[in-house]
């Protein structure tokens, strides 16, 4: 059974950093397109970042230059390093597998809450 | 960036009734549209992709239609477990974008 489990969320001050983790089971994280999607309180879903391979990753304009996506093959885990955090980054962050053929999110984690506040 | 607009924002429906949700794209998507269901405190679940193909395990009461810029999700007879937030997502262009969602609530 495919499962994703995020961790690492919490309260951080503006300008601070946080690293989110997403442990996968039932499939190989490094062989799949993996993404982060966030949802601000009361708002819709927003795609944040995708990693295709160790040399191919892309970001939403709202986080470009501040966030970095990566993965560890040995741990079957996806990461999101978030620097220079802003209040508008406050959201539940989900990791999700992106089906490569149709670019739809077929498996999701339960999410981890990131709150950016003084 | 393709903007996705869903209507209505909230839909009040009685159990057993039909629900019709709309999603409009700012430019043509062909059939590159998906629908997700999300219950409070839970992750989204893929319902429909390719505008009309049900994902694995999705009941037949959920159906999708449309192409180009206008799409519809229909729930033929609402069950108690169907009251949730529904979001559409386009995958015709990067960045992948979602609509703001339609909340289906009990009337």
pLDDT digits (tens, 9 = 90+) for A67-89: 999 999 999 999 999 999 999 99
Neighbouring residues of A53: CB distance < 8 A, sequence distance ≥ 6: none
Q: Give the A:B interface size as CB pairs under 8 Å.
A: 51
SS3 B81: helix
pLDDT at residue number A55: 86
pLDDT at residue number B98: 98
Are A106 and B46 within 8 A, CB to CB? Answer: yes
Neighbouring residues of B64: CB distance < 8 A, sequence distance ≥ 6: B33, B35, B47, B48, B51, B52, B53, B54, B71, B72, B73, B74
Within chain A, which residues score under 50 in pLDDT? none
Chain B contact set for A106 (CB, 8 A): 46, 55
pLDDT at residue number B35: 98
- Among B32, B42, B98, beta carbon nearest to A45: B98
Question: Do the bridges between strand A10-12 and strand A112-116 make them parallel or antiparallel, or are there none, so unpaired?
Answer: parallel
- Taking the Cβ of residue B101 and every Cβ of chain A, the question of whether any pair is shorter than 8 Å is answered with yes
Neighbouring residues of A96: CB distance < 8 A, sequence distance ≥ 6: A4, A34, A35, A36, A37, A105, A106, A107, A108, A109, B43
Instruction: Give the model confidence (pLDDT) of B21-75 as tens digits.
Output: 999 999 999 999 999 999 998 999 999 999 999 999 999 999 999 999 999 999 9
For residue A77, the distance in angstroms to the closest alpha carbon of chain B comes to 19
Interface test with B, best of A45, A48, A49, A106 (most B CBs within 10 A): A45
pLDDT at residue number B54: 98
């Amino acid at each position: 059974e495919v499962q994703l489990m995020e961790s690492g969320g919490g309260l951080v001050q503006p300008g601070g950093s946080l690293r989110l983790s997403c442990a996968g089971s039932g499939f190989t994280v490094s062989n799949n397109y993996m993404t982060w999607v966030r949802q601000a309180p009361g708002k819709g879903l927003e795609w944040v970042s995708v990693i295709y391979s160790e040399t191919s990753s892309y970001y939403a304009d709202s986080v470009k230059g501040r966030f970095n996506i990566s993965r560890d093959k040995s741990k079957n885990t996806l990461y999101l390093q978030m620097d220079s955090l802003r209040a508008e980054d406050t959201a539940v962050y989900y990791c999700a597998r992106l089906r490569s053929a149709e670019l739809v999110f077929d498996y999701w984690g339960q999410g981890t809450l990131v709150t950016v506040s003084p | 960036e393709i903007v996705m607009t869903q209507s209505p924002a909230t839909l009040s429906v009685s159990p057993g009734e039909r629900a019709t949700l709309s999603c409009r794209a700012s430019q043509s998507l062909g059939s590159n549209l998906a629908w997700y269901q999300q219950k409070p405190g839970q992750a989204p679940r893929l319902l429909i992709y390719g505008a009309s193909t049900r994902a694995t395990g999705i009941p037949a009461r959920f159906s999708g239609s449309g192409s180009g810029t206008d799409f519809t999700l229909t729930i033929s007879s609402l069950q108690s477990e169907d009251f949730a937030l529904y979001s559409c997502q386009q995958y015709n262009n990067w960045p992948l974008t979602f609509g703001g969602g339609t909340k289906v609530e009990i009337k």
